A and B are shown apart, each in its own frame.
Chain A
Amino acid sequence: MSVPVEARQAVRIGLLSAEHVHAPTYLSLLASMPGARLVGVWDEDQGRAAAAAAPVSTRAFDDVDELLEQVDGVVIASANSRHRRLVEVAATAGVDVLCEKPLATTVDDARAIVDACDRAGVRLMTAFPTRWNPAARALESAVRSGALGAPVFLEGVNTGTMPDIHAAWFVDPARSGGGAVTDHVVHLADLFRWILRSEVVEVYAVANRILQERFAGVETGGLVSMRFASGVSATIDCSWSKPRSYPTWGGLSVQAVGTGGAFGIDAFRQHLAVYGTRETGISWPAWGPNADRGMLAEFLSVVRDDREPAVTGIDGLRAVEIVDAAYRSIAAGAPVPLRVGERAGVAPSGPADEGATTRRRADR
C-alpha cells in the first residue's frame, strides 16, 4: 500500500504497460522531471517492459504488485481495452492513476474505472494533454476573459496518420474500441467541454473507411457535430487523413467564433520544416513546448498534494460518452441525444474546475 507523501518529497511513479505509443515520451519526461522518482515499468510482456525501461535506465518489473507496492502513482499506457483492468489493479493497491485517453472503450468500462477509484479513494486523472497546450490555453483564456464575447461555434480538427505504424492494436477494434472516432474525438471533445463549461446534449456523426487505402478494419474517416447545453455548436474532424508521406503525425486546430469575432489556434504549429534527402524526405520537428510535461507535472502535484486533478476521471467518462453517442449516431444515420451520465448512471457534474471541490481521502 502507498504511504502518505510528504511535501517536497519526490513522488514515486511507475508505468503500467508500454503498449501505447506515448509510453516512451512519458518515461523520458518522468525520468527527468524534478519531483518525480521513476520507479519502473511493468508490462505483461516482459520483453516490452525491458525495452521501455532500458532507455531511461529504470527497472522492468515482472510482478505488477511488486511495482505497485513501491509507488504513489502510476501512469497507465496500455491498449485502450486494458485500461479498466489495470486501473482496478492500481486502485485496489491504493495507488493514484493517470490513465491514457480514451479512458475506456465503452461507457460501462469508463464508469467502472471512475467507480473503482472512488471506492478505493485514489485520485484518477485522464490524459488529456491538450489542456496544457499553450495555444489551447490561449483559446480558453480568450473565452474566459470575454475577449471572444459569447462563444457561438467551435470547429475542431484533430487529424493524423493511421496509428497502426506505432502499434497494431490501434486498428484492432477489440483492443482499441474503434478507429478514428475513438482515437481522435476525445481530445477536442474534452477541450470544448473545458472551454465552454457545458455538456454535450446532442451528437451527429458520419464515418467511412475510404482513407488509408480503404483500410477495412475500423473507420478511418469521421466528422462529428455536437450541440452543447449552453447552445453552442461544435464540430470535430477526427479522420486519420494524413498519408504516410505527411511530414508529421498530424495536428490539432480549432476555429472559434463568438460575438466578439473569431479566434483560431493551431496547437502544433511550432515546428520547423526540414528538407532532407530523397529517402528522409520532409519532416516537421516540433520546437514548441511539450504539453505532456505540463500534464505529468499536474499528476505529480495531484499525488503529492492529494487533490482533485484538473482533468478528472469524470472528464474522461464524459469524453467516452460523446464517442459512444457518435457511434450511435453513425449507426442511426441521425442525430442522437446525450444526457450527461444517463447511460453511465453517474450523477451530472460539471467539468473538473467548475466545482473546484477538494475531496479528502478516507485512507490518508
Chain B
Amino acid sequence: MTDGGGREVRPGDRADSRSRRRRPGADGPLRVGVVGAGFIGETHVAAWAAEGIRAVIHDVDADRAAALAGRHGARVAGSLDELFGGVDVVDVCTPTDLHADVAIAAVRAGRHVICEKPMARTLADAGAMLAAARDAGVRLFVAHVVRFFPEYVAARQAVLDGAIGEPGVLRFTRASFRPRQPAGHWFFDHARSGGIVLDLMVHDLDYARWVAGDVVAVHCRSASVAQPDAGVDHAVAILTHRSGAISHVSASWGYAPPTFVTSFEIAGSHGLIEHSSTTAAPVMASLLAGAAGGGLTAMADTSLAGDPFRLELAEFAGAIRDGTEARIGPADGLEALRIALAADESARTGAVVRLARVVE
C-alpha cells in the first residue's frame, strides 16, 4: 500500500513517525477526505472549502456524494481505499456506529483522522480507535465543536483567568426541535446513534468536563416528549466532578421549530458567568417575506462571530501540519463518550453511574 504521495506505508510502523515523516500541509495544502455526505459531512465540506481546501468526498450513496461534491466544487472518491489513497487526513462524518470502522481503516492506511462527535457508539470502539491511532503513529481528533464556539471559549477563559474563582455549580441547556430526518433514519435508532444523550447532550458533557474537570458520578432522567413511540427526546443529567463541582446538563428535542436555545451558567466560589442565546442575538429581524420555519436540524447562528466549524477544522489541520496539540485530544473524546454512556445507562436504570478513573 502506498499513501497519496507514492511513499510506502506499512501499518504498525509509525510509532514515532510524527517526527520523522513529512508533515502534511507543510509544502502544500492539506489533502482532506470527508467520509459521509450527510448533514455534518456537508457542514464540514463547506467549512473546509471556506478554509481553501477542496475535500474529496466518499459516501456509500454515490449519488448523495456526487450531489454534495457538486454543491462545493469537490471531488468524489468511489471507495474508501481510493479516498485514503489521495488524502492526508480523513474526516469521518458517517453515522455514529460506523465511526470506529472508518477511522480504524483510515489510521491503518496511515491517515490522520478527524472524527465527528460522539467519538464512537461504544467505549470499546473508542478505545480501539485510540489504540489504532497510537499504533499507527497518526493523529486523531474528535470534533467537539462547542469547544470552538466563541461564547463557550470566552466563558472557559474567564474561568481560567480566575474571574469567578473555583467552579462550583454549572448549568447547561441545549434546547431544540426534533431533527427533521425521515422515519427509519439511523439518527432515531438508539442502537446506532445513542439517541439524544450521545448526540446532543454530549456537547455540554464534554464542555462541562473541559471547564470543571473529570466526572466521577452521573445521574440522568429522560423522557419522550413529542413522539412517545419515537424514543427519548428530552434528558437531564446531573454530574459530580472529581473537584466536587456539580453540573446540571439539559438536552431537548421537545421544543417547537425553529427554536434553538443554548445557555449556560457557571457559578464559582467568587462569581458567576451567565449566557443565553436568547439574549445574545446581535441582529433581530422580523421580516414578513420568507418567514423561516427552521431547517433540517437546528444550528446555532454564529455567522457574526466566526464559524466554529472553520475554527475547529483549521485548528486540527494546523495541529497536523505543525505537530502541535489541539484544544481537544482523542482521550477527551473518549471521556465525553464515557460520561454520555453513563448518562444513558442511568436514564435507563435509574441508578447513579460511578466512573472509573480516566484513561491515561
Contact = CB atoms under 8 A, between A and B. Distances in A.
Interface residues of A, number: 39
Interface stretch (A255-263, A312-320, A342-350): A255-263
B246 A207 contact: yes
Interface residues on B, range: 35 or more
A204 to B, nearest CB: 5
Contact of B175 (A210, A222, A255, A333): A255
Contact of A211 (B169, B259, B350): B169
Contacts of B173: 155, 255
B252 A210 contact: no
A333 B352 CA distance: 8
Nearest to A212: B269
Interface string B131-171: 00000000000000000000000000000000011111101
A190 interface: no
Given A152-B223, A207-B246, A221-B246, A213 B169 contact: no
B351 A334 contact: yes
A12 interface: no
Interface stretch (B52-60, B121-129, B236-244): B236-244
Given A243-B271, A333-B352, A261 B256 contact: yes
A152 B169 contact: no
A225 B268 contact: no
A164 B234 CA distance: 37
A262 B238 contact: no
A262 B173 CA distance: 13
A214 interface: yes
B234 A152 contact: yes
A213 B268 CA distance: 8
B225 A239 contact: no
A237 interface: yes
B226 interface: yes
B269 A261 contact: no
B272 A243 contact: yes
Contact of B245 (A152, A159, A210): A210
B321 interface: no
Contacts of B351: 334-335
Contacts of A261: 254-256
A259 B225 contact: yes
A221 B352 CA distance: 19
Nearest to A227: B221
A245 B163 CA distance: 13
Interface string A257-299: 1110110000000000000000000000000000000000000
Most buried by A among B224, B225, B244, B245: B225
B352 A204 contact: yes
Interface in B167-215: 167-169, 171, 173, 175
A333 B267 CA distance: 22
B265 interface: yes
A237 B248 contact: yes
Contacts of B108: none
Interface string B216-233: 010101111110100000
Most buried by B among A213, A223, A237, A239: A223
Contacts of A322: none
A210 B212 CA distance: 12
Interface of B: 164-169, 171, 173, 175, 217, 219, 221-226, 228, 234, 236, 238, 240, 244-246, 248, 250, 252, 254-256, 259, 265, 267-272, 350-352
Given A153-B221, A220-B168, 18 more contacts: A153-B234, A153-B252, A202-B350, A204-B238, A204-B352, A210-B268, A211-B267, A211-B269, A221-B169, A225-B221, A235-B238, A242-B272, A257-B254, A261-B255, A262-B255, A334-B352, A335-B350, A335-B352
